[in-house]
Amino acid sequence: MDKVIPIRAGVGNCYLIIHATGYYLVDTGSPGYGEKIIKSITSRGLNIKELQFIFLTHTHYDHAGNARFLKEVSGAPLIVHNSEAGFLKNGWHEVPYGTNPVFKMISMLGRKFSPSHARFEAAEPDILFNNQFSTIELGAPATIVHTPGHTLGSSTLIFGKQAFVGDSMVNMAGRIWPPFANNETELLKSWKLLAAMDVDFFYPAHGKRLKKTLFLEALSKKTG
């Protein structure tokens, strides 16, 4: 039985997956939370040097904020979609567009007045992929699939019956459609792809885990 440990690291969650084959980290939180993440791992009797891989769902600052630090401390390879590699190397990703009037305004103001807020410590990716990547060779019985929309390179880790979706969906105040997405048309396609996956739960970076039944209801409302 897989064990999933949410680790609050700034404005959202990263996830530690503990499995018989090893343990794995999804996202790295906002800058400055690296030590907290390490403490959360080692307090469970785990050796940070034995972390199998670090998967980034995308490279916004609240997901890639400690990627370099955790990679250096653990020695674990960094996995990210090819479209996100340049942002990771530069330590910056533009503020995404909003999906409703309120968040469109927030996005516009963020892009204009606070672009430095999106910065984080640059890191070098170790494993890049395009459409799909199997982690079997890294010891994990899992698959990573490209789920663009929130960003061009947004991706999801499918581990057993669990999907780690980053910001492709949220679970906050009854909202599942994310407040920010650069391409809502692509995001809806990604939602349909995720709906076809044989999973029971989705783990977003913002909010608690989401049952698939609730996600399917949201998708049905979105598609009319």
pLDDT at 96: 83
DSSP 161-221: TEEEEETSS-BBTTB-S-SB-S-HHHHHHHHHHHHTS--SEEEESSBS-EEHHHHHHHHHH
Burial class (CB in 10 A: 0-12, 13-18, 19+), 133: buried
Query: How many CB atoms sit inside 10 A of residue 193's CB?
Result: 15
Over residues 6-32, the mean pLDDT reads: 96
What pLDDT shows up at residue 99? 72
Compute the distance between CA of residue 119 and CA of residue 88 in angstroms, rounded to an integer: 10
Confidence at residue 224, expressed as pLDDT on a 0 to 100 scale: 79
Q: Do strands 54-55 and 22-26 pair parallel, antiparallel, or not at all (unpaired)?
A: parallel
More reliable by pLDDT, 83 or 179: 83
> What is the pTM for the complete model shown?
0.94
Which domains are assigned to the chain?
A: 3-223 (3.60.15.10)
Q: Residue range 17-34: average pLDDT?
A: 96
Q: What is the mean pLDDT of residues 25-32?
A: 98
- Contact 83/149 with Cβ under 8 angstroms? no
- In tens, the pLDDT along 39-91 reads 999 999 999 999 999 999 999 999 999 999 999 999 999 999 999 999 999 99
The burial class, CB within 10 Å (0-12 / 13-18 / 19+), for 204 is: buried
* Average of per-residue pLDDT across 10-33: 96
What is the model's pLDDT at position 107? 66
The band of 100, judged by pLDDT with boundaries at 50, 70 and 90, is confident
- Contact assessment for residue 26 and residue 167, using Cβ atoms and an 8 Å cutoff: no
Q: Report which residue type is found at 132.
A: Q
Contacts of residue 77, Cβ cutoff 8 Å, sequence gap at least 6? 53, 54, 71, 126, 127, 138
pLDDT score of 1 more than 60: no
Residues 106-154 have pLDDT tens digits of 767 666 666 556 799 999 999 999 999 999 888 899 999 999 999 999 9
Quick one: 105 exposed, middle or buried, by C-beta within 10 A (0-12, 13-18, 19+)? exposed
Mean pLDDT of 14-26: 96
Number of Cβ within 10 Å of residue 68's Cβ equals: 20
